[in-house]
Amino acid sequence: MSDDLPTKYIETRHGARIAYTVTGRGDRVLLLANGLGGRLYTWQPIVDAFRDDYRIITWDYRGLFDSTPPTRQAHLSITDHAEDALAVLDAEGVSRAVFCGWSMGVQVTLEAASMYPERVAGMLLMNGTYGHVFSSGLQPFIRFPFAGAWLNAIVETVADRPHLARAIEYGAPRAVMPAAAFFWLVSRARPAQMTPLMERYMREVFDPRTFPNYLRLFQELDAHSVLHHLRDIHVPALVVSGAWDWLTPPYQSHVIAKRLPDAEAIHLRRASHFVLLERPEVVVPATRRFLNQRARW
C-alpha cells in the first residue's frame, strides 16, 4: 500500500531525514504511529475504512525504512519520535489530529499527548504499553523483576556480535507459518491474509541494514515510561487489547485505560498483538464511533 504513494521528507535538528506518506482526503487528519516494524500495510482496515473522509498520514521512525538515523544514537528516544510526529504535522499544515498508535506507537502517542495535548484530538491505542517494555512486556503470566536487566544484556550481546544477528535474520522467516497458524487458532484470521503480511514484516524487521537500529529502539522503549503522566493526559482515548498478546500483555492496556481520565477500553478475547488485522469487524466500527462521538476536533 505505502509502496504506491509518493514519499515526502523533512529534516530534523539531529541530522535525521524523516520520510512520511499522505493518503486520503478530508479536513480532519489521522496520524498513524507504527509499531516497531510494520508500515502503512499494517493499517489497511483503517485506511480502507476512512480514506474517503480523512487525510491519513504516517511516517517512518528515524533510522528505519526510508528515514535515516540521527547523527547520534542518543537521539533515538521516544521523545524524539514524538517530536518527529509533530514536525510531520507542521510540514502538512495540520494543527490537530487523532493519533492512532499500535505497539511502539502507543508510547509515541502517549508521549506526544503528554507534551502537546492541544495537538491531539484523540488517541486510538492498540496493543501497547506505558513504557519499560522489558519489565512490563514479554511476560504474560509471571513477571520477574530482573527480566529488564537480562533482556538489555541479550540485546547488547546480539548487537556486539554480528554473527548472532545474522543467525536471527536467517531463522526469523521460518517463524512465519507457525505465526500464521497461531493467528488462525486465536482469532480465525485467514492464513492467506496473515502469511504475506508476516513475511513482509519479518523481512523488514530483520533487514541487516536497519536491524541494529531495531535493537537500540527496543532499549529506548524499555528506558521510556509515561506512567506518571497518564492521569494528567485529558485527551479522549480508545484503548484496545488482545487476550493473547504476549508482546504487550493486556494488563498494560488495562493500566493505561484506568489511569487516563477520559478513556474507554475494548478487550478482545480472540485476538493477539495484531488486533486491527485479526478483528477489523470490531476495531473499525469502534474507531468510527470514537471519531464521530468522542474525538475533540
Q: Indicate which CATH number applies to the domain containing 33.
A: 3.40.50.1820
Asked if residue 105 has pLDDT above 80, the reply is yes
Is there a domain that residue 190 lies in?
Answer: no
Query: Is 259 a member of any domain?
Result: yes
Mean of all residue pLDDT scores within the chain: 92
Cell of 67: 528515514
User: Which position has the higher pLDDT, 46 or 201?
Assistant: 46
Rounded Cα gap, residues 207 and 19, in angstroms: 18
- Cα–Cα dist 247/263, whole Å: 22
| pLDDT for 293 beyond 80 | yes
pLDDT in the model for residue 1: 53
Query: How far apart, in whole angstroms, are the C-alpha atoms of residue 241 and residue 235?
Result: 19
Residue 101 included in any domain: yes
Edge-to-edge strands of the sheet including 237-242? 8-11, 17-24, 55-59, 29-33, 97-102, 120-126, 237-242, 263-268
Indicate whether 123 belongs to any domain: yes
Q: Which residue has the higher pLDDT, 190 or 82?
A: 82
pLDDT surpassing 80 at residue 148: no
Least confident among 82-91, 115-124, 130-139: 130-139
Residue 2 pLDDT exceeds 60 = no
pLDDT tens digits, one per residue of 240-257: 999 999 889 999 999 999
Any domain includes 215: no
Q: What is the mean pLDDT of the segment spanning 217-240?
A: 97
Assigned domain for 203 exists: no
Residue 220 clears pLDDT 80, i.e. is over it: yes
Domain presence at residue 37:
yes
Lowest mean pLDDT among 92-96, 139-143, 275-279, 292-296: 139-143
Give me the pLDDT at residue 208, please.
79
Domain count, the chain: 1
What is the structure's pLDDT at 127?
97
Q: Evaluate whether 174 touches 202 at the Cβ level (below 8 Å).
A: no
pLDDT tops 90 at residue 57 = yes
Look up the domain containing 99 and give its range.
2-143+225-293
| Least confident segment among 105-119, 141-155, 244-258, 261-275 | 141-155
3 pLDDT higher than 80: no
Q: Is the pLDDT of residue 142 over 80?
A: no
Please indicate, yes or no, if residue 194 is contained in any of the structural domains. no
Bridging pattern class, strands 29-33 and 97-102 = parallel
pTM: 0.94
**Number of Cβ within a 10 Å radius of residue 192:** 8
